[in-house]
Amino acid sequence: AGSAKDSIALIKNSIHEEISQLKSIKGSISNYSNSLNVTADQIKTLINRYDISANNHSRAYQYLDNAQLKLAAKQDSLEAINRTIDELIAKNQRHLIRIETVHEIKSGNKKADSVTAKSSIWKANTAAISKDVILNNIRSNYSNNKSIDKYVNRTDWASRILLIVLGLGYCYWIVRVSYILRQNDPEHKLAIDAIVGKTIIFLLTLLPFVNFFTPSFILQASQLVIMLIFMFLLRHRMSGLQRKIAIILIVFYILDVFVNMIVSDDLFLRIVCIAFNLIALGLVSYTKRRIKNADSPGYISNFIYVIFAILNVTAITLNIIGHVEHSRSFSIACAVGLVQSFTLQYFSDMIKADVRNQFKKDRLTSGFWMRFNEQRTLAIITEILRIVCVLLAIIVLANNLQFIESLLALSETFFGKVRSIGSISFTLGNLGVAVLLLLVANWFQKNISLIVLGGEDGQLSQVYNQKMTLFPLFRLAIILIGFFMAISALGMSLDKLTVVIGALSVGIGLGMQNIINNFVSGIILVFDKPFRVGDQIELADKKGRVKEIGIRASVLKTGDGADVIIPNGDLLSGRVVNWTLSQEYSKTSFVLHIDRKADLDQAKQWIKDAMESSDHFIKDRDSGISIQDISAEMIYLSVSGWVNFAANASAFKNDVLLVLYKKFEAEGLKFYSVIPPKI
């Protein structure tokens, strides 16, 4: 029986694959036919535009006429091929229907002996349960289709090797981070058991990605192992209540899987299965009431609770009405899904904890990850982990409910179906890849400065380089590369891309002049270099340091810490004062008012000493102290000097005034840096 079922499954899979290949060929033919139609239309347009006929331009007319005949012949051939493909698809579909019909008839003849019996619970078999019956049920439920043999023999070795390499890479990463942290922090533990346990959890959690057709037994065993390791690693963090609930959950999980392993049409076993479903509902409800902290191990969210309740109620209903096999699948899906909800939560927390350790290590060693903001990075990783966990949950649920084949076929049909907008053909799968490529390119062009130049907490370092000015070109190149890769992923040909660019040109002419103006201005700024990143510039009422030169706009950091975003068009067309174009140092001046009773030469010496005491003052350049004006009580002195950077002018003045204030105050002399109030 098992061999027959294997043969039927192989035949069905072969037919499905052939149908998919035929549909793919038909889509390619459709694309080719569309391109032929476009070529034919272009030939007709060419003939009409230049009035090409047999009497006028005879050689050109003969050449184009032959081309039209060849195109028509190709179209006829493609139509014939399409009809043949449609016939083959219909023939294969009839074969599938015939196989299903024969299989259902044969299954109906063995209904009395099958575990998939459809007798209601009131008509169930009341015979005594013997050891032979239990062993027969186990063989029937797990050995009939030899799913483990197929999984071992049909799984691609490349996927297995990739998972092993990822596991070894993950192990090396956490060992290296833990070793460096332990060197700098003796309290940090480098536990071998934790490293081995986390590596096993990593491998077993991602195991369903190796082969979507994973036997239910392997999924059940892997979730049990992950749960046991999870309990061992968190043994010191779990409270007594959490530890008790975890032990009860594991024991219940083992018993539930065993009961569903031996279930058949016997009344006693079906009642036991219903009892386990009810106990599972009670256990989950109790756990949800007692553990309310979302960060605590064992927490059950409302979504998981609702899904679990629906699956359990469905399993009970199917058991009562006689669909024992389906009820068994739903019961196992409940048990595995509940345990997986805990293991996936721990897996996600484990990866995020490792990322935090990486940031902690890089803060000690000034490593690469210090370039990025920790909170934003963790938020992105959390979203990625959420997507991965959802996919894993769907794959495991589909395998346990035994509809993974239908799910993959539906996904292939949905994402692989060729869709058309005008003459442009694409699939949703290719569209998704194109969008993903654009998102990656957009992220990379935004963060390339941090990756290449370095920084801290998501901000560029204060040590700027003239190469930073060329980064808008790199960003533009990244965007263009990402765009053309996305177009390639969509399968769009060059002539169709020309149509898209033409449509964009119309949009640019109608409403995108400012955007294009700023874009072109950004490119001119890069080559003309009226200022560089780090220069101190002044535009209208804004003055500050150039923080970034972007593709569309540039960012100016003002003295009060504000980031002013200025369109590149304004920077190119406006009057820009660059204080540090030829050099970084700058001259600054201010007026001091000193008491007339003070010795003028002594006061000048004090001022000179105060200027030289500032770290921002350049001593080897000319400085000046001159009399600007004299009043009845004060002497007005103009003080000028060179500072190492234009942005440090205020700090230099602060240093000078602070020293002079203390000096004049000690001598009992009047000293002002502003005009004193008149009395």
Q: Which residues of 471-506 are buried (b: 16+ CB within 10 A; e: fewer)?
A: bbeebbebbeebeebbbebbbbbeebbeeeeeeeee
The total of other beta-carbon atoms located within 10 Å of residue 105's CB is: 9
Q: Side chain identity at 566, as an amino acid letter?
A: I
Nearest Cα neighbor of 370 from 443, 468, 450, 471 is 450
Checking if the pLDDT of 47 tops 90, the result is no
- Cβ atoms of 209 and 222 within 8 Å: the answer is no
Q: How high is the pLDDT of residue 112? A: 38
Right CATH number for 586-672 from 3.30.70.100, 3.40.50.300, 3.40.309.10, 3.20.20.30? 3.30.70.100
pLDDT, mean over the chain: 78
Report pLDDT digits (tens) over 471-483. Answer: 666 777 788 888 8
Half-sphere exposure of 102 (CA within 13 A, CB side): 9
Cα 299 from Cα 240, distance rounded (Å): 15
In this structure, the dihedral spanned by the alpha carbons of residues 442, 448, 454 and 456, taken in order and rounded to 10 degrees, is -10
- The burial class, CB within 10 Å (0-12 / 13-18 / 19+), for 652 is buried
Q: How high is the pLDDT of residue 2? A: 45
Q: How high is the pLDDT of residue 35? A: 80
Query: CA angle, 134 as apex, 133 and 137 as ends, to 5°?
Result: 85
Cα 210 from Cα 222, distance rounded (Å): 14
> Confidence band (pLDDT; 50, 70, 90) for 280?
confident
SS3 of 52-70: the string is CCCCCCHHHHHHHHHHHHH
**Which whole number is the average pLDDT over 351-358?**
90
Q: Could you tell me the two tokens for 115?
A: 């575990």
Work out the percent of the chain whose per-residue pLDDT is above 90: 5
> Any bridge partners for residue 545, and if so which?
536, 557
The total of other beta-carbon atoms located within 10 Å of residue 284's CB is: 20
Cα 120 from Cα 325, distance rounded (Å): 13
Report pLDDT digits (tens) over 217-250. Answer: 888 888 889 989 988 888 777 777 778 878 888 8
**Which whole number is the average pLDDT over 627-650?**
84
**Which whole number is the average pLDDT over 384-393?**
91
Domain residue spans of the chain: 2-109, 124-414, 438-578, 586-672
Report pLDDT digits (tens) over 369-385. Answer: 777 777 888 888 898 99
Q: How high is the pLDDT of residue 106? A: 52
Report pLDDT digits (tens) over 484-523. Answer: 788 777 776 656 666 666 666 666 666 667 777 777 787 7
Q: How high is the pLDDT of residue 678? A: 40
Q: Strand, helix or coil at 626?
A: strand
Cα 222 from Cα 247, distance rounded (Å): 17
Q: How high is the pLDDT of residue 171? A: 92
**Which whole number is the average pLDDT over 389-404?**
86
Query: CA angle, 16 as apex, 332 and 433 as ends, to 5°?
Result: 80
Report pLDDT digits (tens) over 116-161. Answer: 445 666 666 665 566 666 666 666 656 544 456 666 666 677 888 8
**Which whole number is the average pLDDT over 15-38?**
80
Q: Strand, helix or coil at 266?
A: strand
Q: Alpha-carbon Rg of the chain, whole angstroms?
A: 38
Cα 359 from Cα 348, distance rounded (Å): 17
Q: How high is the pLDDT of residue 111? A: 41
The total of other beta-carbon atoms located within 10 Å of residue 335's CB is: 29
- Cβ atoms of 520 and 551 within 8 Å: the answer is no
Checking if the pLDDT of 630 tops 80, the result is yes
Report pLDDT digits (tens) over 536-546. Answer: 888 877 888 88
Checking if the pLDDT of 43 tops 90, the result is no
Ranked by mean pLDDT, the top range of 450-454, 521-525, 630-634 is: 630-634
Report pLDDT digits (tens) over 82-118. Answer: 888 888 887 877 777 767 655 554 554 444 344 444 5
> Confidence band (pLDDT; 50, 70, 90) for 164?
very high
Checking if the pLDDT of 200 tops 90, the result is yes
- Cβ atoms of 645 and 669 within 8 Å: the answer is no
Output 176 or 186, whichever has higher pLDDT.
176
Checking if the pLDDT of 327 tops 60, the result is yes
Q: How high is the pLDDT of residue 168? A: 94
Q: How high is the pLDDT of residue 141? A: 59
Report pLDDT digits (tens) over 425-452. Answer: 778 888 888 888 888 888 877 777 666 6
